[in-house]
Amino acid sequence: MSLARFTEDPPRICRTFLSPTMRAVHRQIEDWMRPLGMTVTLDAAGNLHGLYPGADGAACKLLIGSHLDTVPDAGAYDGILGVMLAISVVESLGGRRLPFAIEVVGFSEEEGVRFGVPFIGSRALVGRLDEELLSRRDSDGISVQEAILSYELKPSEIPAARLSQGVLGYLEFHIEQGPVLENRGFPLGIVEAIAGQTRMELVFTGVANHAGTTPMESRRDALVAAAEWTVAVEKSARDIPGLVATVGALNAKPGATNVIAGQCCATLDIRHASDATRTQSVSAFLHSATEIAKRRGISLTSSTKLVQTATPMDSLFLHEIDAAVSQSGITPYRMISGAGHDAMVLAEKVPAAMVFLRSPGGISHNSRESVLVEDVAKAIECGFHLLNQLAVSPEFQMRANRA
Amino acid sequence: MSLARFTEDPPRICRTFLSPTMRAVHRQIEDWMRPLGMTVTLDAAGNLHGLYPGADGAACKLLIGSHLDTVPDAGAYDGILGVMLAISVVESLGGRRLPFAIEVVGFSEEEGVRFGVPFIGSRALVGRLDEELLSRRDSDGISVQEAILSYELKPSEIPAARLSQGVLGYLEFHIEQGPVLENRGFPLGIVEAIAGQTRMELVFTGVANHAGTTPMESRRDALVAAAEWTVAVEKSARDIPGLVATVGALNAKPGATNVIAGQCCATLDIRHASDATRTQSVSAFLHSATEIAKRRGISLTSSTKLVQTATPMDSLFLHEIDAAVSQSGITPYRMISGAGHDAMVLAEKVPAAMVFLRSPGGISHNSRESVLVEDVAKAIECGFHLLNQLAVSPEFQMRANRA
C-alpha cells in the first residue's frame, strides 16, 4: 500500500516504464532490500536487482521476482506484490545463507502500456530487447531507447542485462487475476503452465440492405451470422475443460439502426494449456463459422493476429512447490495461468514456476483489486519452505553442478 | 439518367436540400413541364410544383409526386423517377383535360441527409415545417431557414405552401427499394400501407473481465448475451408474416480482443403493417432479452428511440389502382412499404396511395440501383388508366364535391 502511493496519475494508480515515479519506487524498494544484506543494482533495461548472497562459494543463484509497472487505473498488487513477496521470503531466512544466492528482480515493464509491447523488462534478461523494440515510440514520440537514456541508463549495456551462467531458475508470486482460487476455496495456486493463445479476426460479409424493405427471408445479414457464431463459440468452449474462448467485439458495418449489416468483424481470443487442444478448437470454431456463413449465403475470411504456444512450468519446481504448499497447511492446487507473465518469458532460458495468490472477486486491472493478508502470509510461508527444500534437494543441487 | 448528371459529388450521385445542383434540376424539370401546359412554381420550402389545369371550372386537384433529393452516392431513380413518372402520366393525356387539375410535385427533401431530419419538403405541405426544424443546422452550421433564404425563397411564405382546399389526394410512384416484387415476378406493387416502426436500444450489462483468467462458467459476458438475443430476434421475426426486425449494431465495451465485454448496446428496428403485431413483437423481443439476461446474470435496460404508427393507404385509391394495374395487363399485387415515404406524411391530411416499381436485385441507396424500362412503361400505362378511371369515378366525384 505504501508503494501504491507512487503513481503518475493520482488518485489512480499508474506506473509506466521508467517514469519519474518508478525512480521513487526503486528507491523505496532499495531501502527495504539493503538492511537484509542485499546488493542493489539497476540494469540497463531499468530492472531492479537485489542480490542476497549464498553461502560461501555459492556460484549459482535463484531469481524471484515480478514486475513493478502497472496498467492505467490499476490495483495495488498486480506485479509489485510478487516483488515484495520475494523480499519477504528473503527476510524470512533471518540472514541465513543458502547454498545458492537469491536475486530479487523487479521488472521495469510487463504490461505493455507505454510502448504497446509487453515484457520489456524480462525480454532484456532473455536477450530479446532488440533494436526494433528499442526504436518503438510512446504517444509522446519518445523511443524506448530515449526513455532509457533519460533514466540515466546506457542502452549499450543492455546485453549485460542478459541472464548469466549459473541462474538456477525463476520463481514468481503473482495475484491470480481470476476467480478460480476463490471459487474453489484455495489461498494459493500452483501454476502448471501458462496457456497458449491464439488471437484471430473473422470478417463475415453479407449484403447491407434496408431494414424496412428487405423481408427476413431475403436477408444476408452479416451481424446475425456473427452473433450465431459467437453463441456457438461459447457453447463449444464450455464443453472443453480448461478452454477459454472470447469474442470481445462484433463490429458491424454500417452499424446503423435501420440498415442490415453488410459486414461484421469479430475478434476471437482462445487459450488453453494444451497447444493441441487450442489448435483443434481454433479449427473447430473456424469450421463452425464457415458452416454458418455458408448456410446464410455469407462469405467469410479469417486472419490470425497472434499465436503463442503454451509454456509448461518446470516439473522439479512444481514438485517442490506442491510440498512447500502442503507444508504451509494448504492442499496443493494445480492450475493454468490464462494470462501471460514474466515467467513465460524467463522460461525461454531457465526453469520457471509461478505461485498464484487468490484474487478476491477475481478482480484485477481495477482499483478494487485486492488480496487477503492471510493469503500473503501463506505465500511467504510457502516461499520459506520452498527455499529450505531447494537448499537440500539433490536434484536442485545437480542443476547447480551442471550450471 | 439526364437528371442523374446533376450532382454535388461527381461521379457519385448526391443532391441535398436546396443545393446549387438542385436549382439545375428544377430548371431541367421545368423545361419538361412547360410544353405540357403546366404552370411551374416553387414554394417557400423549395418544392417544385407543376400545375396541369383541369377542365373548365375544375376547382379540385390531384397531387402526384415524389422527392428530388438523394442520399450520398445514390442511385439515379430513388424519388426523382416518381416525379418523372408523374410528368409522363400527364404527358400521356395528350393535352386532354380531366374534371380535376393535376399538380406534379417534386419535393425538395425526403432523405434527411443535410439536416438529419427527413421529409422537409412534404412537412411544409402538411404544416409541420416548424420553427424548431427551420433552426436546425447542417454540418457547415447553415440552418434550414438560411438555406431557404440563400435559395432566394422566403421563409415567411412557408405557411402558404400548405395544402389548399380542394386537394383530392396524393399519388406517388416510387421504386420498391426491396426484393419482393422481383422475387414474386411483378413489375408493379400496390402499397396497402406504410409499415409502422419502433426503434429501440437495449443495453446488456455484465462484468468486463480478463479473457485469459476467467473460466467460461464464471463469465457474465454482455456481448454473448446480446448475440444470443440477436439470433432469437431473427428466429422469432421469421415466424411472423410481414414482420421485419433488425439488429443493426452490437457495440461492446471495452470491445477489446482480450477482454470479456462488460457491456453491449444493441439497436433494434421493428416494422409491420399492423401496429398491434408490431407492439406485440416489441414486447416479445424485450421479454426474450430479459429472460436471456436473467439466465446469464446480466442486467438489461431498454429505451424507445422512435415509434411511428402504420399508415394505411386510401381504400378508394387502392381499389382504382388494382383496376388500373389489371387494365395494364398485370396481376395486382398488394404489398406493404417497409420504408417511410412522402405519401406517409401527405396521408396526415389527404387520401394517399403509392405504386412501387420493381427494384432489380432489391438494390437501392447505391450506385447499382436500377429499374427496368418496361416496368417504367407499365407504370405510365397504369397511371394513365388510373387518371381515366378517377375521371369517371362517382366516389371520386363525391370527394370533389365535398372538397
pLDDT of residue B366: 87
Which residues in chain A show pLDDT less than 50?
none
User: What is the signed CA dihedral for A89, A95, A99, A105, rounded to 10 degrees?
Assistant: 40
Question: Looking at residue A285, what is its pLDDT?
Answer: 98
Does any CB of chain A come closer than 8 Å to the CB of residue B218?
yes
Chain A positions touching B250 (Cβ under 8 A) are 223, 227, 250, 252
Element containing residue A316 per DSSP (H, E): helix A315-327
d(CA B220, CA B223): 9
- Over residues B47-66, the mean pLDDT reads 95
Query: A393, A379, A376, A383: which is closest to A315 by C-alpha?
Result: A393
Name the residue in chain A with its Cα closest to that of B214: A178
Q: Tell if the CB–CB gap between B211 and A260 is shorter than 8 Å.
A: no
- B210 → closest Cβ in A249, A251, A338: A338
List chain B residues with CB under 8 Å of A228: 227, 231
Nearest CA to A328 among A275, A388, A277?
A388
Closest partner residue to A269 (CB to CB) among B211, B218, B362 is B211
Residue length of chain A:
403
Taking the C-alpha atoms of residue B115 and residue A168, their distance in angstroms, rounded to an integer, is 70
**pLDDT the model gives residue B64:** 98
Cis omega before residue A35 (within 30°)? no
- According to the model, what pLDDT value does residue A59 have? 86
Give how far B230 is from chain A: nearest CA, Å.
Answer: 6
* Backbone φ and ψ of A291, nearest 5°: -65, -45
Nearest residue to A363 (alpha-carbon basis) of A190, A242, A182, A187: A182
pLDDT of residue A139: 92
CB contact under 8 A, B221 and A234: yes
Report helix, strand or coil for A231.
helix
Distances in Å between the Cα of A147 and the Cα atoms of A140, A154, A225, B352 are 11, 10, 46, 72
Q: Does B245 touch chain A (CB under 8 A)?
A: yes
Q: All 3 cell numbers of residue B326?
A: 389489371
Using the Cβ of B269 and the Cβ atoms of chain A, whether some distance falls under 8 Å is answered with yes
Q: Which residues in B lie closer than 8 A to residue A216 (C-beta atoms)? A: 234, 237-238, 243-245
A179 touches chain B (CB under 8 A): yes
Contact check, Cβ <8 Å, A224/B213: no
Torsion of the alpha carbons at B169, B173, B174 and B175, rounded to the nearest 10: 150
pLDDT (tens digit, 9 = 90+) per residue, B274-284? 999 999 999 99
Does B403 have pLDDT greater than 80? no
Binary contact (B224, A230; C-beta < 8 A): yes
pLDDT in tens, B192-213: 999 999 999 999 999 999 999 9
Instruction: Enumerate residues 113 to 132 of chain A having a beta carbon within 8 A of any beta carbon in chain B.
Output: none
Q: B338–A250: do the CB atoms touch at under 8 Å?
A: no
Domains contained in chain B, CATH given = 3-194+310-402 (3.40.630.10), 196-308 (3.30.70.360)
Q: Which helix (H) or strand (E) holds A239?
A: helix A222-239
The CA distance from B181 to A6, in Å, is 69
Condensed to tens digits (0 to 9), the pLDDT of residues B229-265 reads: 999 999 999 999 999 999 999 999 999 899 999 999 9
Q: Give chain B's mean pLDDT.
A: 96
**Cell output for A365:** 486491472
pLDDT score, position B58: 85
Which pLDDT does position B172 carry in this prediction? Answer: 98
Q: Dmax of chain A from CA atoms?
A: 85
Residue B10 pLDDT greater than 80, yes or no: yes
Q: What is the pLDDT of residues B321-375, one digit of tens each?
A: 999 999 999 999 999 999 999 999 999 999 999 999 999 999 998 899 999 999 9
Q: Measure the CA–CA gap between A175 and A83, rounded to whole angstroms.
A: 12
3-state secondary structure chain B: CCHHHCCCECCEECCCCCCHHHHHHHHHHHHHHHHHCCEEEECCCCCEEEEECCCCCCCCEEEEEEECCCCCCECCCCCHHHHHHHHHHHHHCCCCCCCCEEEEEEECCCCCCCCCCCCHHHHHHCCCCCHHHHCCECCCCCEHHHHHHHCCCCHHHHHHHCCCCCEEEEEEEEECCCCHHHHHCCCEEEEEEECEEEEEEEEEECCCEECCCCCHHHCCCHHHHHHHHHHHHHHHHHHCCCCEEECCCEEEECCCCCEECCEEEEEEEEEECCHHHHHHHHHHHHHHHHHHHHHCCCEEEEEEEEEECCEECCHHHHHHHHHHHHHCCCCCCEEEECCCCHHHHHCCCCCEEEEEECCHHHCCCCCCCCCCHHHHHHHHHHHHHHHHHHHHCHHHHHHHHHC
pLDDT in tens, B162-196: 999 999 999 999 999 999 999 999 999 999 999 99
Do residues B321 and B169 touch, judged by C-beta distance below 8 A?
no
Cα-based distances in Å from B71 to B35, B68, B179? 30, 10, 20
Count of alpha carbons within 13 Å of B234, Cβ hemisphere only?
24
CA angle B209, B213, B219 (to 5 degrees): 50
Q: What is the pLDDT of residue B362?
A: 92
Q: Extract the C-alpha cell encoding A3.
A: 508503494
Q: Which helix (H) or strand (E) holds A200?
A: strand A196-205
Chain B contacts in chain A segment 348-377 (CB below 8 A):
362, 364-365
pLDDT in tens, A120-139: 999 999 999 999 999 999 99
Cβ within 8 Å, pair B248-A258: yes
Whole-number average pLDDT of chain A? 96
- Residue A116 makes CB contacts below 8 A (sequence gap 6+) with A136
CB contact under 8 A, B246 and A211: yes
Tell me the three cell numbers of residue B5. Answer: 448528371
pLDDT of residue A56: 85
Select from A212, A227, A261 the Cβ nearest to the Cβ of B271. Answer: A212
CA distances in angstroms from A30 to A17, A36, A41, A87, A125, listed in the order given: 18, 10, 9, 10, 20
**Strand A188-194 vs strand A334-337: parallel, antiparallel, or unpaired?**
parallel
The whole-angstrom distance between residue A393's C-alpha and the CA centroid of its chain comes to 29
Distance CA A262, CA B363 (A): 13
Task: Check CB contact of A189 with chain B, cutoff 8 Å.
Answer: no
- Whether chain A has a CB inside 8 Å of the CB on B283: the answer is no
- Given this model, what pLDDT does residue A32 score? 98
Contact B180 A227 (CB under 8 A): no
Mean pLDDT, to the nearest integer, of B39-46?
Answer: 98
Residue reference for cell 476463490: A182
In angstroms, the Cα distances linking B182 to A362, B76, B88, B173, B318 are: 56, 19, 24, 17, 21
- pLDDT for position B402: 86
**Does an H or E element contain A399, and which?**
helix A394-402
Q: Show the CA angle centred on residue A155, arms to residues A150 and A158, nearest 5°.
A: 135
User: Quick one: cell of B230?
Assistant: 440477436
How large is the greatest C-alpha to C-alpha distance in chain B, in angstroms?
Answer: 85
B260 lies within 8 A of chain A by CB: yes
Which residue is listed with cell 530515449? Answer: A146
φ and ψ at residue B353, rounded to 5 degrees: -155, 160
Q: What is the ipTM of this complex?
A: 0.88
Of A244, A259, A305, the CB nearest to B216: A244
Torsions phi, psi for B80 (to 5 deg): -60, -30
Q: Of B99, B76, B159, B137, which is closest to residue B367 (Cα–Cα)?
A: B76
The answer to whether the CB of A288 falls within 8 A of the CB of A229 is yes
